[in-house]
């Protein structure tokens, strides 16, 4: 068994809804709601779900860019939930993120050299005499020419900018890399190139990935485990092949059959799922719902080895 590198226990992050002239509280949006999740070393865990389901919020909570309301974050057996920013610096070098839009995450005033160099400010243990050679090593690692270092972000294509963002994330030799929709803004051919780069980096550097995406094709290609998120909750988790071949939760089944008209529905569902009922978060949209689903929230249960689902009436497509 691989060691568990990151474990989340009952993580919550709720945002108050303010209404009226006096901005009185009218409930909460449950961006992340009692999430339990674990990632093993060397594993690629895919986190999937519609836009607005809480995936990015959970990533920011893991990195402590925002604080969880409750729950525990355990990294390498150390509880980091309550660590101060100063004490988190030594931990954060092992936890890095690559954002969706490389153009907005790269300072347009800086050359690539200075963009990568800026990251070393947060890791003062680095020998200053070795920083330049490390920068050149990183740009070569993501398969960009050395003369890229003197150029600015606007001079690169979207795929090249994402390679620069990946190079910057590798400055501290992280163990866990969170990829937040890191290839969603790229065309299909460039996506494939970046995914191949990520696979190669994982083999060479021993990285562990938390891959956040709504693109199931990409998740199936790169991830070994998948967790499905809906309105702040993990509703199903299994190995990639098990989940794709035998989805147990009705929401997972809808995702896999591409049968969701989500843009109008999600906005309605998020407001309807604040404090309106105490049952299953998927109840308003589920065609298998029964009375108990509205009354009782289903726990995340292991129905077969490694396959967890939060549903009172899980489906089973196996013959």
Mean pLDDT of 86-101: 85
pLDDT at position 284, please? 85
- How many residues in the chain? 319
Beta bridge partners of 97: 178
Sheet holding 24-40, edge to edge: 24-40, 4-19, 70-75, 78-79
Give CATH superfamily name and number for 4-94+174-309.
P-loop containing nucleotide triphosphate hydrolases (3.40.50.300)
Helix (H) or strand (E) holding 254: helix 250-256
Angle ∠(133,42,256) on CA atoms, nearest 5:
120
Sequence-ordered list of residues with C-beta below 8 angstroms from that of 276, at least 6 positions apart, any chain = none
Q: What is the DSSP letter of 170?
A: T
- DSSP strands (E only) in the chain: 4-19, 24-40, 44-48, 70-75, 78-79, 95-98, 176-180, 208-213, 225-230, 233-239, 301-304, 307-309
* Res. 256: pLDDT tops 90: no
Per-residue pLDDT band for 277 (boundaries 50, 70, 90) equals: low
The DSSP bridge pattern shows strands 4-19 and 70-75 to be: antiparallel
Closest CA to 177 of 79, 67, 41, 78: 41
Q: How many CA atoms lie within 13 A of 11 on its CB side?
A: 33
Beta bridge partners of 15: 29
* Res. 276: pLDDT tops 80: no
Query: Cα-flanking dihedrals φ and ψ of residue 97, to 5°?
Result: -135, 145
Angle ∠(119,138,92) on CA atoms, nearest 5:
40
Residue 182 three-state SS: coil
Q: How many CA atoms lie within 13 A of 57 on its CB side?
A: 24
pLDDT 10s digits, 208-244: 999 998 888 889 989 999 999 999 999 999 999 999 9
Q: What is the pTM of this model?
A: 0.86
Mean pLDDT of 174-192: 89
Question: Which residue do the tokens 């509703």 mark?
Answer: 235
Sequence-ordered list of residues with C-beta below 8 angstroms from that of 60, at least 6 positions apart, any chain = 66
* Res. 19: pLDDT tops 90: no
Please report which residue ranges of 81-187 form alpha helices under DSSP H: 85-92, 102-105, 112-119, 131-141, 158-169
Q: How many CA atoms lie within 13 A of 238 on its CB side?
A: 22
Residue 190 three-state SS: helix
pLDDT at position 1, please? 60
């Amino acid at each position: 068994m691989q060691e568990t590198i990151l474990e989340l226990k009952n993580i919550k992050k709720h945002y108050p809804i303010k209404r009226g002239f006096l901005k009185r509280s009218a409930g909460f949006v449950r961006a992340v709601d009692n999430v339990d999740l674990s990632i093993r070393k060397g594993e690629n865990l895919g986190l999937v779900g519609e836009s607005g389901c809480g995936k990015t919020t959970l990533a920011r909570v893991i990195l402590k860019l925002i604080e969880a309301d409750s729950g525990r974050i355990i990294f390498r057996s150390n509880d980091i939930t309550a660590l101060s920013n100063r004490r988190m610096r030594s931990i954060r070098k092992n936890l890095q993120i690559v954002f969706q839009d490389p153009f907005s995450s790269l300072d347009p005033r800086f050359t690539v050299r200075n963009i990568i160099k800026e990251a070393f400010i947060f890791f003062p243990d680095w020998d200053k005499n070795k920083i330049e050679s490390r920068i050149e090593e990183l740009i070569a690692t993501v398969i960009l020419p050395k003369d890229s270092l003197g150029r600015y972000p606007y001079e690169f294509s979207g795929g090249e900018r994402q390679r620069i963002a990946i190079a910057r994330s590798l400055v501290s030799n992280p163990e866990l890399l969170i990829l937040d929709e890191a290839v969603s803004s790229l065309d299909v051919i460039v996506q494939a190139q970046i995914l191949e780069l990520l696979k190669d980096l994982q083999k060479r550097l021993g990285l562990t990935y938390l891959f956040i995406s709504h693109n199931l094709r990409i998740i199936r290609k790169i991830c070994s485990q998948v967790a499905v998120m809906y309105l702040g909750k993990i509703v199903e988790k299994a190995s990639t092949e098990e989940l794709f071949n035998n989805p147990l939760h009705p929401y997972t089944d809808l995702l896999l059959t591409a049968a969701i008209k989500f843009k109008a529905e999600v906005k309605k569902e998020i407001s309807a799922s604040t404090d309106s009922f105490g049952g299953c978060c998927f109840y308003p949209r589920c065609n298998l719902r029964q009375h108990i689903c509205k009354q009782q929230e289903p726990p995340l249960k292991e129905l077969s080895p490694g396959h967890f689902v939060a549903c009172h009436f899980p489906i089973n497509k196996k013959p």
